Structure 1
Amino acid sequence: MILEPAPPCFDIPRSIDRSAFGQPLRELSDADGRELVIADGSGELHVRLRDEQAAQRPAVLLPIDSMAELRLDVALHFVRQLGGRGRSLLPAALRLTAFQKRRLIQLLHAFDVHDLGGGPRDVAAKVLASDHAQRRAVEWKDSHARRKANRLIHDSIALVERGYLKLLRGL
């Protein structure tokens, strides 16, 4: 989320009280300004302050693109947090369940094995910890571990090749 100084015609009642968020996890400065990484129980929020006036007279910069609705939701949660009404920085669409986290980790691990030249047997052995990978070819051909390993490889490639954008959109 990017904060810019509000135009002078807006009456901004107060500056951002950084103590409402506690200490940032990270604070980075570069030629484009400062970025704060703020965390709560639901995840991290990256707030980019283009200059110091952005903290004194905050206005959210909202690009109108395919992610506009999600950015608007994040900005709304941020405003609620500033007013002491919200407890969650991440919108529901971005919160992952424990199952989704495990599945994504498994997919990324499968992609790494496949990317290093591994095949379905390697994915079954290393990612699924299946002993079916050690079976003879006839038994391996009909194995559920082989089918699952092939699915993991297919899904992991799709995830890495821009499928991750669905996650960011909350789909």
Structure 2
Amino acid sequence: MPALPSTPRLPASVSLGDGGYAFAHDPALPVGPEPVAWLPELSPGTLLLDEAPRGFEHVSLDPSQLGTIIADRADDEGREVIVVDDSGELHIRLRSENAAQRPMILLPADLASFDLRLAVASRFMRRLGGQTIGLLPQALRLTMQRKRRLVELLHAFDVHDLGGGPRDVADLILHSAQARLPSVEWKDSHARRAANRLIHDSIALVNRGYLKLLRGG
């Protein structure tokens, strides 16, 4: 079994001027417990609010009434509040100073995500009206089974990225005794097929496949 390198290989920085592309999350920022703020155009789970025109009846928004606030930050695009309940995280993007006092929901005419955005907006309004309902529709919720699968995929990618092969993934991720079979038996083993599938799916996930999760895929 090949030994894994002791330290990971860090990718070189890529600038937009050198032919790179914009990431959904800035890869130069450290990963920590702070929840990620996704680009609203990529995430139907981000509710866009602006100030409603004068003359409309309105209900002031207090995000703490929707659930537990786990992040509240401002940038050049406005303010983003992340609220969590049993259904998951709702990202609320307030695009103007008075959006919380006179909220108006923005629904971009994006055919690929319109139904999900409408479902999120509908649940938001029903919660404002006092109904007990999850903030996120079922398609945007991460079940424990899906979370475990994602953790496996990320671990498998790390092993692969450090030079490991299917045997290493079968041993370290799947904890399969078949990883120690002789070559002939290993070639036709279930663990080898499962490990190869994990590696294949993990590469697809890291190479922008994770964006499908934001869209309920």
Partner of 1:74: 120
Q: Distance in 1 between matches of 2:108 and 2:132?
A: 23
Partner of 1:158: 204
* Residues 1-80 of structure 1: pairs in structure 2 closer than 5 A: 1-8=47-54, 10-65=55-110, 66-80=112-126
Larger CA deviation: 122-131 vs 160-169: 160-169
Q: Are the aligned partners of 1:77 and 1:86 in contact in 2 as well (CA < 8 Å)?
A: no
Larger CA deviation: 143-152 vs 129-138: 129-138
Q: Give the superposition deviation at 1:164.
A: 2.7
Q: Distance in 1 between matches of 2:69 and 2:143?
A: 24
Amino acid at match of 2:82: V
**Pairing 1:100–2:130 present:** no
SS in 2 for 1:154: helix
Larger CA deviation: 93-102 vs 156-165: 156-165
Partner of 1:126: 172
SS in 1 for 2:127: helix
Q: Are the aligned partners of 1:14 and 1:57 in contact in 2 as well (CA < 8 Å)?
A: yes
Q: Give the superposition deviation at 1:21.
A: 2.4
Q: Distance in 2 between matches of 1:55 and 1:94?
A: 24
Partner of 2:11: none
- For structure 1, the 5+ residue unaligned runs are none
Q: Distance in 1 between matches of 2:158 and 2:106?
A: 36
RMSD (Å) for aligned C-alpha atoms: 1.8
TM, length-normalised to structure 2: 0.72
Deviation track 1:90-146 (CA, whole Å, cap 9, x = no partner) reads 111112332222222212211221122211011111110112222221221122111
Q: Report the CA distance shift for 1:86/1:52 in structure 2 as closer, same or farther (over 3 A).
A: farther
Q: Are the aligned partners of 1:93 and 1:170 in contact in 2 as well (CA < 8 Å)?
A: yes
TM, length-normalised to structure 1: 0.89
Amino acid at match of 1:161: N
- Residue identity over aligned pairs, in percent, reads 61
Q: Are the aligned partners of 1:17 and 1:82 in contact in 2 as well (CA < 8 Å)?
A: no
Q: Distance in 1 between matches of 2:108 and 2:195?
A: 40
Q: Report the CA distance shift for 1:72/1:151 in structure 2 as closer, same or farther (over 3 A).
A: same
More helix by share: 1
Q: Distance in 2 between matches of 1:123 and 1:109?
A: 8
Q: Distance in 2 between matches of 1:108 and 1:57?
A: 42
Aligned residue pair count: 170
Larger CA deviation: 153-162 vs 67-76: 153-162
